[in-house]
Amino acid sequence: MAESAAVELFTDGACSGNPGPGGWAYLLRHPASGAERTDSGGEARTTNNRMELIAVVEGLSALSEATSVDLYSDSQYVLKGLDDWLANWKRNGWRTSAKKAVKNEDLWRRLDALAQEHDLRFHWVRGHSDHPENELCDRMAVEARKQFE
């Protein structure tokens, strides 16, 4: 993997109902230069977990080269999935320890491929706790969701 400057990726998802209309958002920051990029989107009928996953997939997809990424999320589902569960799911043919199909397998496969390209470090942030970047991503995700309500 090519060595390049580290970036910070802040993500969030929002859903009204589960399933229901949903939104995702990310903030990508290059601390050395202060450059930032944001994006958001949504779907008419989705789940909160899918929106959380899509936010990370979209954020990592925005990177043009392999890099070191500090990923900040309030989603234990995303962070534990990446850090703890993913290797076992792959080893078990995309089945959980209970032998059930992994939910959101399509997104987990995309995220797995993206995670192989980058050096990821995971940081959990408590949602709705005045964390500035998490609050920004939450607001953007909610706005994106509203277009489908």
Catalytic residue check, 138: yes
Q: Per the residue annotation, which of 52, 58, 81, 118 is the catalytic one? A: 52
Catalytic residue check, 119: no
Q: Which of 91, 90, 24 is nearest to 53 (CA)?
A: 24
Number of neighbours of residue 141 by Cβ within 10 angstroms: 28
Catalytic residue check, 52: yes
Catalytic residue check, 106: no
Q: Per the residue annotation, which of 8, 43, 58, 138 is the catalytic one? A: 138
Q: Compute the distance between CA of residue 129 and CA of residue 85 in angstroms, rounded to an integer.
A: 26
Q: Per the residue annotation, which of 43, 58, 74, 133 is the catalytic one? A: 74
Q: Per the residue annotation, which of 8, 12, 43, 133 is the catalytic one? A: 12
Q: In this structure, what token pair is assigned to residue 146?
A: 């509203």
CB 7 within 8 A of CB 68: yes
CB 80 within 8 A of CB 56: no
Catalytic residue check, 13: yes
Q: What are the beta bridge partners of residue 7?
A: 69
Catalytic residue check, 74: yes
CB 73 within 8 A of CB 56: yes
Kindly list the catalytic residues: 12-13, 52, 74, 128, 138
